[in-house]
Amino acid sequence: MNTEEIIKRGEQSFLHTYNRYPIVLDHGEGVYLYDTDGKRYLDFGAGIAVFALGYGNREYNEALKAQTDRLIHTSNLFYNAPAAEAAEKITALSGMDRVFFTNSGTEAVEGAIKTARKYAYTRDRNTDHEIIAMEHSFHGRSYGALSVTGNAHYREPFGPGIGKIRFAEFNNFESVKQLVNEKTCAVILETVQGEGGIHPADRSFLHSVRALCDERDILLILDEIQCGMGRTGSMFAFEDYGIRPDVLTLAKALGCGVPVGAFLMSERVAERSMIPGDHGSTYGGNPLAGAAVVEVLRQFDERKIVEHVRALTPVLEESLDALKERHDCVKERRGAGFMQALELDRPAGEVVKAAQKEGLIVLTAGEKILRLVPPLVIEKKDIEEMSGILDKVLG
């Protein structure tokens, strides 16, 4: 089938919840994607910050093939070696003590919400606890995750949500403090807001929230589904702040394409929250997902991915700053590591489409925000190629 036929076939059967671009991607190699017409695209979207190790990664593919030939699924009624190894490695890296593997970031957030409410219920046997979330945040589209997403546009058609969620202003500690009361059981926030426009948390803000949570026995949930796994130049973004959450959510680059997420917690939280029967997942943490996590973490270590991001971040930032200086339509550059944004004075969607015509994939993060979240293995030449294309498009 040609491109037009594939698109037509999909549109006849897909539920129309996406406004897809008229491109059919066929295969990838390194940091490039190729469509069914043979056109090559430099990928600065990475499947929405997922494909950290790039495409056609032979060792990654071979690890998955080997596990597929051995065992794909068993259910969580039994142990499996890949999941046990993945759990050991991710808890050690994060400094957390316990992990539950999910199928997605949204499910990880659902588990984090349940953990917080069970923790508070164990303490006082009440079920009226409140969670403080942030305005302009994004945590997913399932019912619980949507309820703590700070964009009314997403929530309103599906209200009333899970209830007892209050929204504070991101990077405004007084806004958080004013909402805290004896019923507050958790504060949930992204260490770097993603869909809300690529806004890193201020250091003073995050430290103040951490201290407040400690003082009031409130759980701090950090959502690092997009900003974790090396993207900011640290394995986890919270490491840059010198603090640690009580509950951490991960996904995206954790599996580098295989659907896997996780929520992690401290031993103190685990002992006072989830018990057998409280939570489960048929597919979560199956052998294939476990093998993917193990191989991703092995390559992160062997190839020194985090150090690579840290070394090239100044090159990427300088390149984007130069675009800002050359083009009046670029109002601001912000971000952390390989999670960067250009704020424009025009719809970013127009720039995305123009860039695609020139062979570059970039994303949006709001109406006028251009988002760049490339594979973590990009090199200086890839940054230069991206900059050249955007220079032409913005001009």
269-308 confidence digits (pLDDT tens): 999 999 999 999 999 999 999 999 999 999 999 999 999 9
Helix (H) or strand (E) holding 298: helix 287-302
pLDDT of residue 95: 98
pLDDT of residue 114: 98
124-135 confidence digits (pLDDT tens): 999 999 999 999
Residue 364 has pLDDT above 90, yes or no: yes
CATH 3.90.1150.10 intervals, the chain: 3-57+304-394
- Taking all residues of the chain, what is their mean pLDDT, rounded to a whole number? 97
Please say whether the structural domain 71-302 has been given the CATH code 3.40.640.10.
yes
What distance in Å separates the CA atoms of residue 58 and residue 202, rounded to the nearest whole number? 39
176-198 confidence digits (pLDDT tens): 999 999 999 999 999 999 999 99
| Percent of residues, the chain, with pLDDT higher than 90 | 99
pLDDT of residue 179: 98
Average pLDDT of span 73-78: 95
Burial 72-96 (b: 16+ CB within 10 A, else e): eeeebeeebebbebbbebbbebbeb
Report CA torsion sign: 44, 45, 51, 56.
Answer: negative
**Contact between residue 170 and residue 189 where contact means Cβ atoms under 8 Å apart:** yes
Residue 106 has pLDDT above 90, yes or no: yes
What one-character-per-residue DSSP string does 70-117 give?
Answer: H-S---TTS--HHHHHHHHHHHHHHT-SEEEEESSHHHHHHHHHHHHH
pLDDT of residue 252: 98
SS3 at position 144: helix
pLDDT of residue 1: 80
pLDDT of residue 105: 98
What distance in Å separates the CA atoms of residue 237 and residue 357, rounded to the nearest whole number? 33
Q: Give phi and psi for 337, each to the nearest 5.
A: 60, -130
**Residue of 272, 227, 215, 220 lying closest to 244 (CA atoms):** 220
Class in CATH terms, 3-57+304-394: alpha beta
The alpha carbons of the chain give a radius of gyration, in whole angstroms, of 21
66 CA to centre of own chain: 27
Structure tokens at 204: 């003073």
- CB neighbour list of residue 214: distance below 8 Å, 6 or more residues apart: none
What distance in Å separates the CA atoms of residue 337 and residue 235, rounded to the nearest whole number? 11
40-67 confidence digits (pLDDT tens): 999 999 999 999 999 999 999 999 999 9
What distance in Å separates the CA atoms of residue 44 and residue 372, rounded to the nearest whole number? 6
Ranking 148-162, 324-338, 347-361 by mean pLDDT, the lowest is: 148-162
pLDDT of residue 320: 98
CATH 3.40.640.10 intervals, the chain: 71-302
DSSP 235: S
What distance in Å separates the CA atoms of residue 232 and residue 307, rounded to the nearest whole number? 11
